[in-house]
Amino acid sequence: KALWIGTLIALVIYVLWQLAIQGNLPRGEFAPVIAAEGQVSVLIKTLSKFVATGSMDLVLTFFAYMAIATSFLGVTLGLFDYIADIFKWDDSTAGRSKTAALTFLPPLVCCLLFPTGFVTVIGYVGLAAAVWTSIIPAMLLYRSRQKFGGGKGYSVYGGWWLMVWVFAFGIVNIAAQILSQMEAVPVFKG
C-alpha cells in the first residue's frame, strides 16, 4: 500500500506541476528556458510574464528547488546502495564513506562547475537509474526463475511479459536519452 500511495502522490504532484507549466506557458516561450538549460529561475521569470504570480513566485521557486533536491536525493540514494553492491563495500564507516564519496562528489563537482547544467546531469544519472531499476531487476528475475523455477511459493503477477516489458522499458529510456543527447531524434529547441 505504501508504494502505491507514495507513487500516486508523486504522480499527482508531477502532473499538477506539468499542467501548471505546460498549460500557462506558450510553446514558443520555452526557448529561453531551453537556452538556459532548464534553469528554474529562467522558467519562473518567463512564466511570470504570462501569469500574474504575485507572491506565488516565492512558492513556485521553493517548489521547483524542492523538486530538484528530492530528485537529486532520490536518484543518489538509490545509486548509493547500487555502488556499494557493485564494489562490495561493507557497512563499516570506511565502506560507507567510500560509497558516499563516489555517489555524491561527482554530482557536487558537476553542479559547482556547471550550475545551470542540472537537467543535463540528472539525465545522465537517469541512465544509471534505468539500469538499476529496470534492467537489473528484470535480469535478476529471469535468472532466478531459471535457477529456482517459477510458480513455487510467492510469484509476482505479470509473468514473462511483464519481465520483458520492464527490461524493454529500461532499454527504451536509455536509448531515448542517448539519442536525444546526440540529437539523432528531433529535439524541441523553442
Parent domain of 158: 117-190
**Predicted confidence (pLDDT) per residue in 108-155, tens digit:** 787 788 776 766 777 777 788 889 889 999 999 888 888 877 666 666
> Is residue 180 a part of any domain in this protein?
yes
b/e map of 98-125 (b: 16 or more CB within 10 Å)? bbeebbbeebeebeeeeeeebeebbbeb
Question: Distance between CA atoms of 176 and 65, rounded to whole angstroms?
Answer: 25
> Is residue 168 a part of any domain in this protein?
yes
pTM of the model: 0.60
Residue holding cell 510574464? 49
* Mean pLDDT, residues 8-29 taken together: 85
In terms of Cα–Cα distance, which of 4, 50, 6, 51 is closest to 28?
Answer: 50
pLDDT band at 69 (very low <50, low <70, confident <90, very high): confident
Counted domains in the chain:
1
